[in-house]
Chains A and B, each alone.
Chain A
Amino acid sequence: MESAFAPSPSETQAITAEHPVFVEHKHPNYVGVFALLTLFTIIEVSITYFPSLPQVPLLLLFALLKGSTIALFYMHLRYDSRLFSGFFLVGLILAASMLLTLMALFLAHPRLPYVQAEQPAAATATPAAGTTLSTSGR
């Protein structure tokens, strides 16, 4: 997909005279990519208004689509060296592995229900008439 960034003939001459241009790859249709990302976002938010739909798989799918679209076209991973993709994917895989592993570790087995800790009793209780507080423990 070509983008509308081609300079005019006079600009091209200026390019030649002033600084040589090194273009690594063609520019995709960035506005088209933005429209696609906006559409994905709208669909994502709309999904939450229909509880009958499988929320988690659909939301994860669209998040993955948006993230990969940004990485491929805006971060130019589609056109750049595979080494860059490798370093990024290693980080992503490590993060995902950490999330899944710790969730399995902490959430797989049923735990006792969480109970808010009771507030400790007042430090000095008022003694009843004729009695004294014992601190000996007997």
Chain B
Amino acid sequence: MAALTADHSAHALQEAPPTGLESLDIRKLGMWVFLGSECVFFGALITTFYVYRPEILANHPEPREVLDIPFTAFLAFILLMSSLTMVLALASIQLNRRRAGAYWLLATAFLGTCFLAGQTYEFTHLAHEGVTLSSGVFGQCFLILTGFHGTHVFVGVLWLLACFARTLRGGFHGGNFIGPEIAGLYWHFVDVVWVAIFTLIYLI
């Protein structure tokens, strides 16, 4: 790679970047294709909920009355905050602030863990209310949908911890940040899915 010129600015570029399809990182492209497939996956789960919605409303109070909306809104806020810390982590690593980037990654993982703790509390509370996987259509549809989302968050937390460790060891830096960038795409997608679930399942 060409060295930087004497004019050192934060946004100094190396030689002119390549254009066209050859400039695309195949790993990043692969993640976007995967995220497209994940849209279909979660779309199928949400579709199932809506197809069974008449049965749910006929035999069950409206979901909005059973689910704790203010608590879930707080969980949504936590996930939004984790998206902020994730993007700050990537920006820091891109600017070679490895230590700051690593600790932003750790903060993201921590917030993801807080979200999972909140989900666990919610599932426990619902179980006490009689909403379980075997309690009926609502329990099955709701818990499978949110359970799969929680699983994605859990996988994301593990991934972020791995990125954190590697960043601290110097594996990711301004010249190589594709790892945190792809992890960030996955994490932001998990947040987008929660935005959809919160609106379509909890609020509507």
Contacts and interface: CB of A to CB of B under 8 A. Distances in A.
Given A67-B196, A99-B46, A113-B58, A91 B38 contact: yes
Given A21-B96, A26-B11, A70-B188, A15 B73 contact: no
Given A21-B174, A41-B73, A99-B43, A70 B192 contact: yes
Interface in A1-21: 3, 5-7, 9, 11-16, 18-21
A21 B95 contact: yes
A84 interface: yes
B117 interface: no
A114 B39 contact: no
Given A44-B199, A91-B35, A99-B50, A81 B24 contact: yes
Contacts of A24: 17
B144 interface: no
Contacts of B185: 75
A34 interface: yes
Interface string A78-102: 0001011001101110111011001
Nearest to B39: A91
Prevailing SS type, chain A contact patch:
helix
B75 to A, nearest CB: 11
A5 B36 CA distance: 31
Contacts of A60: 199, 204
Interface stretch (B79-87, B118-126, B151-159): B79-87
Contacts of B46: 95, 99
Interface string A8-47: 0101111110111111101100110110011001001101
Interface in A34-74: 34, 37-38, 41, 44-45, 47-48, 55-56, 59-60, 62-63, 66-67, 70-71, 73-74
Given A20-B174, A91-B38, 9 more contacts: A6-B10, A19-B96, A38-B77, A83-B21, A88-B36, A90-B36, A91-B39, A95-B43, A102-B47
Interface of A: 3, 5-7, 9, 11-16, 18-24, 26-27, 30-31, 33-34, 37-38, 41, 44-45, 47-48, 55-56, 59-60, 62-63, 66-67, 70-71, 73-75, 81, 83-84, 87-88, 90-92, 94-96, 98-99, 102-103, 106-107, 111, 113-114, 116
